[in-house]
């Protein structure tokens, strides 16, 4: 009795302790297993810990990002790469299962399974097994292979194909039928399906379904026994051919009464379209006329279609065409350019009333032109562009003085006519020039255009001038090619006056009665005004007879006439030009790294060598916040004998990260793994280069748009070649990117 009571008390204590735990401490388990790991509320952001798989519990969506699922979960049916008893949608791209895994995907419990992406799915028994479920394939490129059946929907299982390109192959084991697709019901509304059964001489059907409805798309069935198990129901405009051998040679018009003889069957849907979407984000590229890209007439002057994106694409481009001569894109007639943030769907719409195109969807963002460097290139001469004529040079790269604003200045530029452009990232692919051929006005911002047809031209009138170039992309929108500004500011040299004072008829023989001095004035003034403001005190016992200014002699009478209301002897008291200096304000620092603390840079204001006093000569106003990543303004307001105000800017950049590992897991690939940095960051920018100095020509850039991602596989590299890798974080605010410093990996990686 005492022992039973003790056990009961222990159970009560355990239950009480569990109830006392906060709700967040109890992980929620989902009916999904991936690579032998159950998906839970605690691992859903990174199911396998390698950044390739995540799960959205609100939409029951599993997102594959170049996933390679080779491990399996042991069920009572056998081993499974992806096993689900919940409703599940799988998007993205990757490899699922292998010949040692019994099933690539296994779904049961009368739920819905949806596939929408690029997948290679393999199982030693069935590539996909769906028990009493509804399997929907919406899009992408799906290649399924099974030792017996490619796709098997048993019981009351139903398969619907609405889009995409599907290849289903069932090899068929010895003395066992193998079908490309086996199901109670198969409905094809669109897309392309190739189903092959009984390969390598084994028994099998292409499609073994009790009910087969073909309403659209393209269907090809090949079976070592028969192409089809039952005669299909063909919608209007669907035509079909059939053949008595698996190669399809000698095909004739399909005859339902001969269904038991055909080993090859193909149907096509004669759907016509007025417009097609083409682009580098589609498998058919920019080739018009592909029915998978046909836009459907909405009856209101618009034509649209929803497509599948399988992965993130920083710069995706498309146009709409009538299939003949007309092409439609963005507001400027270019390719409609946008960013795909990840796997999912997006809709392309063409408006016939305006001949414009739009793209929308949860995975679509406005394309932001990436800029890692800006180089001035042009007629380098007379010390302009460091004498580099139309040549890329690191010496002519501009500095990013504030986010999106780039500047460079050249001193001692000789008089002459000059032309140049702003080239981005060390090449001509992206550059900025003038919106028009109007004359450049010094110091006045003018509109800059992306890949302009003409050069920025300007004139320098005086030798020893300073030329400052500025490109402002802080408000630039690529989609409208608007908001970019350039400014060319020419600072002419300050006028220098060489003055010779002649006291009592002194001569140019070194006598003390002849004195020569130089004065520099800013802003520029005339010689007449210079003489009027000069003040001179003759040496004791001497009188001024005349002066020479820049080699021109002015006699006493001439000087007197210039100052006819004042006796010159009292006017000239000392040799000191009258110059009013402007206060110059600077910040103790213009760049910080985010650490969660408020930043307050010190302000210093000087006039010449003298430092002004805060509170007496000026006050300072700081922008609010100054803690998170971004740009902040500091305003200096002058007072007392000084007037006006000066705006200064500093920025807080995100904290950086570092590469923890870089390897070459497969041929032509590098896999980069880094330390996660989620505080005040949007994502990561990775560069890989054949040059240890990361020269522009040898360097490529990869963007990772999620800050929780910790690895990236880079493909299509040259085998046996050595690469260097570096990484930095970035954060996007109001379409402006803020970057951390680069962190280079310690050693080079040789690609397999």
Confidence of residue 545 (pLDDT cuts 50, 70, 90): low
Which H/E stretch holds residue 73?
Answer: strand 73-75
What distance in Å separates the CA atoms of residue 400 and residue 113, rounded to the nearest whole number? 50
Rg (CA), the chain: 38
Confidence of residue 649 (pLDDT cuts 50, 70, 90): very high
The confidence score (pLDDT) of residue 568 equals: 38
Please tell me which residue, 304 or 510, carries the higher pLDDT value: 304
What distance in Å separates the CA atoms of residue 105 and residue 82, rounded to the nearest whole number? 5
What distance in Å separates the CA atoms of residue 684 and residue 725, rounded to the nearest whole number? 13
Mean pLDDT of 579-601: 86
165-170 and 141-146 beta bridge pairing: parallel
Count how many Cα atoms sit within 13 Å of the Cα of residue 357 in the half-sphere of its side chain.
28
Q: Give the single-character DSSP code of 572.
A: -
Asked whether 41 and 71 are in contact (CB, 8 A), the reply is no
What distance in Å separates the CA atoms of residue 477 and residue 369, rounded to the nearest whole number? 8
523 cis-preceded (ω within 30 degrees of 0): yes
Confidence of residue 242 (pLDDT cuts 50, 70, 90): very high
Asked whether 88 and 60 are in contact (CB, 8 A), the reply is yes
Q: Is the pLDDT of residue 749 over 50?
A: yes
Confidence of residue 209 (pLDDT cuts 50, 70, 90): very high
Mean pLDDT of 657-679: 93
Q: Which residues are registered as beta bridge partners of 347?
A: 306, 360
DSSP assignment string, 248-294 = -TT-EE--GGGTTT-SEEEEEE----SEEEEETTSTTTT-TT-GGGE
Tell me the pLDDT of the chain averaged across its residues. 86
From residue 174, alpha-carbon distances to 146, 171, 200, 201 in Å are: 14, 9, 10, 9
The confidence score (pLDDT) of residue 24 equals: 38
The confidence score (pLDDT) of residue 747 equals: 86
What distance in Å separates the CA atoms of residue 362 and residue 345, rounded to the nearest whole number? 7
Confidence of residue 152 (pLDDT cuts 50, 70, 90): very high
Which residue, among 649, 679, 669, has the nearest Cα to 723 in the 3D structure? 669
DSSP assignment string, 595-639 = -SS-----EEEEETTEEPPBTTTEEEEEPS--SSSEEEEEEEEE-
Which residue, among 713, 37, 682, 130, has the nearest Cα to 370 in the 3D structure? 682
What distance in Å separates the CA atoms of residue 538 and residue 502, rounded to the nearest whole number? 10
Q: Is the pLDDT of residue 390 over 70?
A: yes
What distance in Å separates the CA atoms of residue 265 and residue 619, rounded to the nearest whole number? 85
The confidence score (pLDDT) of residue 508 equals: 43
576 backbone dihedrals φ, ψ, rounded to 5°? -150, 110
What is the per-residue pLDDT across 173-200, written as a single tens digit (0 to 9) for each? 766 788 999 999 999 999 999 999 988 7
DSSP assignment string, 150-170 = EEEEEEEEEEEE-SSEEEEEE
The confidence score (pLDDT) of residue 570 equals: 28
Beta strands in 618-721 (DSSP E): 618-622, 630-638, 645-653, 659-663, 670-674, 683-689, 699-704, 711-714
The confidence score (pLDDT) of residue 22 equals: 42
The confidence score (pLDDT) of residue 185 equals: 95
The confidence score (pLDDT) of residue 411 equals: 87
What distance in Å separates the CA atoms of residue 330 and residue 477, rounded to the nearest whole number? 12
Torsion of CA 113, 60, 705, 714, to 10 degrees: -40
Please tell me which residue, 444 or 519, carries the higher pLDDT value: 444
Q: Is the pLDDT of residue 505 over 80?
A: no
748 backbone dihedrals φ, ψ, rounded to 5°? -80, 155
Which residue, among 428, 440, 435, 427, has the nearest Cα to 476 in the 3D structure? 435
Mean pLDDT of 495-507: 66
The confidence score (pLDDT) of residue 214 equals: 97
Q: Give the single-character DSSP code of 536.
A: -
Question: What's 416-432 look like in SS3?
Answer: EEEEEEEEECCCCCCEE
Asked whether 601 and 634 are in contact (CB, 8 A), the reply is yes
What distance in Å separates the CA atoms of residue 67 and residue 118, rounded to the nearest whole number? 11
Torsion of CA 513, 518, 521, 524, to 10 degrees: 100
Asked whether 212 and 236 are in contact (CB, 8 A), the reply is no
Chain centroid to Cα 398, Å, comes to: 21
Mean pLDDT of 381-406: 93
The confidence score (pLDDT) of residue 615 equals: 87
Residues in the chain: 752
Residue 621, burial from CB neighbour count under 10 angstroms (0-12, 13-18, 19+): exposed
Count how many Cα atoms sit within 13 Å of the Cα of residue 259 in the half-sphere of its side chain.
14
Residue 294 CB neighbours (<10 A): 19
What distance in Å separates the CA atoms of residue 187 and residue 242, rounded to the nearest whole number? 19
The confidence score (pLDDT) of residue 305 equals: 94
The confidence score (pLDDT) of residue 573 equals: 28
Q: Is the pLDDT of residue 290 over 90?
A: no
Residue 191 CB neighbours (<10 A): 22
The confidence score (pLDDT) of residue 612 equals: 87
What distance in Å separates the CA atoms of residue 685 and residue 701, rounded to the nearest whole number? 7
- Percent pLDDT > 90 in the chain is 66
Q: Is 6 helix (H, G, I), strand (E, B) or coil?
A: helix
Q: Which residues are registered as beta bridge partners of 211?
A: 185
The confidence score (pLDDT) of residue 533 equals: 62
What is the per-residue pLDDT across 71-127, written as a single tens digit (0 to 9) for each? 999 998 899 999 999 999 999 999 999 999 999 999 988 889 999 999 999 999 999
The confidence score (pLDDT) of residue 566 equals: 42
The confidence score (pLDDT) of residue 495 equals: 65
The confidence score (pLDDT) of residue 555 equals: 58
The confidence score (pLDDT) of residue 579 equals: 38
The confidence score (pLDDT) of residue 155 equals: 85
Question: What's 100-113 look like in SS3?
Answer: CCCEEEEECCCCEE
Which residue, among 298, 303, 306, 229, has the nearest Cα to 262 in the 3D structure? 229
From residue 604, alpha-carbon distances to 314, 590, 618, 651, 677 in Å are: 43, 13, 10, 18, 35
Q: Is the pLDDT of residue 575 over 60?
A: no
Q: Is the pLDDT of residue 638 over 80?
A: yes
Query: Which of 29-43, 88-102, 632-646 bottoms out in mean pLDDT, i.e. has the lowest?
Result: 632-646
165 backbone dihedrals φ, ψ, rounded to 5°? -115, 115
Query: Which of 198-202, 507-511, 545-549, 666-670 bottoms out in mean pLDDT, i.e. has the lowest?
Result: 507-511
What distance in Å separates the CA atoms of residue 54 and residue 73, rounded to the nearest whole number? 17
Which H/E stretch holds residue 556?
Answer: helix 556-562
Burial 324-352 (b: 16+ CB within 10 A, else e): eeebbbbeeeebbbbbbbbbbbbebbbbe
What distance in Å separates the CA atoms of residue 636 and residue 485, rounded to the nearest whole number? 26
- Percent pLDDT > 70 in the chain is 86
The confidence score (pLDDT) of residue 549 equals: 73
Q: Is the pLDDT of residue 605 over 60?
A: yes
Q: Is the pLDDT of residue 523 over 60?
A: no
Asked whether 656 and 626 are in contact (CB, 8 A), the reply is no
């Amino acid at each position: 009795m005492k022992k039973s009571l003790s056990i009961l008390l222990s159970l009560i204590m355990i239950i009480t302790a569990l109830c006392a735990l906060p709700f967040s401490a109890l992980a929620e388990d989902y009916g999904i297993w991936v690579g032998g790991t159950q998906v839970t509320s605690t691992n859903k952001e990174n199911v396998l810990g390698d950044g390739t798989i995540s799960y959205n519990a609100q939409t029951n969506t599993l997102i594959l990002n170049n996933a390679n699922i080779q491990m399996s979960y042991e069920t009572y049916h056998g081993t499974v790469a992806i096993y689900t008893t919940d409703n599940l949608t799988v998007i993205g791209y990757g490899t699922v299962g292998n010949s040692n895994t019994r099933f690539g995907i296994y779904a049961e419990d009368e739920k819905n399974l949806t596939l929408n992406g690029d997948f290679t799915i393999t199982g030693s028994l069935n590539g996909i097994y769906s028990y009493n479920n509804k399997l929907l394939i919406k899009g992408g490129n799906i290649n399924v292979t099974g030792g017996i059946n490619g796709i098997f929907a048993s019981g009351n299982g139903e398969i619907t194909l609405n889009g995409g390109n599907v290849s289903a192959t069932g090899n068929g084991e010895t003395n066992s039928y193998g079908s490309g697709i086996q199901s109670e019901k198969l409905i094809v509304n669109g897309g392309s399906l190739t189903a092959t059964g009984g390969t390598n001489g084994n028994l099998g059907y292409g499609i073994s379904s009790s009910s087969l409805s073909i309403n659209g798309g393209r269907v090809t069935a090949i079976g070592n026994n028969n192409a089809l198990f039952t005669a299909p129901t063909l919608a209007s405009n669907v035509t079909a051919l059939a053949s008595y051998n698996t190669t399809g040679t000698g095909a004739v018009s399909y005859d339902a009464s001969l269904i038991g003889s055909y080993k090859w069957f193909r149907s096509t849907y004669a759907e016509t379209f007025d417009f097609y979407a083409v682009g580098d984000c589609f498998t058919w590229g920019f080739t018009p006329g592909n029915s998978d890209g046909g836009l459907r007439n909405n009856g209101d002057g618009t034509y649209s279609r929803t497509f599948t994106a399988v992965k993130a694409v920083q710069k995706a481009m498309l146009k709409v065409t009538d299939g003949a001569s007309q092409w439609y894109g963005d507001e400027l007639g270019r390719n409609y350019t946008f960013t795909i943030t990840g796997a999912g769907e997006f809709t392309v719409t063409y408006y016939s009333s305006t001949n414009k195109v739009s793209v929308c969807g949860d995975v679509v963002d406005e394309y932001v032109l990436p800029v890692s460097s800006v180089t001035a290139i042009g007629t380098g001469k007379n010390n302009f562009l460091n004498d580099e004529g139309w040549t890329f040079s690191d010496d002519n790269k501009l500095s990013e003085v504030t986010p999106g604003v780039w500047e460079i200045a050249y001193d001692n530029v000789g008089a002459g006519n000059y032309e140049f452009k702003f080239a981005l990232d060390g090449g001509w692919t992206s550059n900025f020039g003038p919106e028009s051929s109007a004359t450049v006005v010094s110091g006045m911002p003018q509109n800059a255009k992306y890949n302009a047809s003409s050069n920025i031209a300007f004139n320098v009138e005086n030798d020893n001038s300073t030329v400052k170039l500025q490109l402002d992309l802080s408000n630039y929108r690529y989609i409208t090619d608007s908001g970019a500004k350039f400014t060319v500011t020419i600072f002419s040299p300050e006028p220098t006056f060489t003055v010779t004072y002649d006291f009592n008829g002194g001569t140019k023989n070194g006598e003390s009665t002849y004195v020569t001095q130089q004065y520099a004035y800013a802003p520029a003034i005339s010689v007449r005004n210079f003489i009027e403001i000069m003040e001179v005190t003759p040496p004791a016992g001497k009188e001024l007879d005349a002066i020479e200014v820049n080699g021109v002699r002015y006699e006493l009478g001439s000087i007197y006439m210039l100052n006819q209301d004042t006796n010159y002897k009292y006017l000239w008291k000392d040799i000191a030009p009258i110059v009013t200096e402007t206060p110059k304000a600077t910040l103790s620092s213009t760049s910080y790294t985010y650490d969660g603390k408020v930043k307050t840079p010190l302000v210093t204001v000087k006039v010449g060598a003298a430092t002004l006093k805060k509170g007496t000569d000026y006050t300072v106003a700081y922008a609010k916040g100054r803690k998170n990543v971004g740009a902040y303004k500091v305003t200096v307001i002058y007072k007392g004998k000084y007037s006006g105000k000066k705006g200064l800017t500093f920025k807080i950049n995100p904290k950086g990260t570092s590469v923890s590992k870089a390897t070459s897991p497969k041929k032509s690939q590098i896999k980069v793994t880094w330390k996660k940095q989620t505080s005040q960051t949007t994502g990561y920018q990775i560069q890989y280069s054949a040059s240890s100095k990361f020269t522009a020509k040898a360097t490529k850039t990869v963007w990772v748009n999620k800050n929780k991602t910790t690895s990236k596989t880079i493909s299509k590299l040259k085998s046996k070649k050595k690469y260097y890798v570096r990484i930095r974080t970035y954060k996007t605010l109001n379409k402006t990117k803020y970057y951390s410093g680069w962190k280079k990996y310690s050693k080079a990686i040789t690609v397999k």
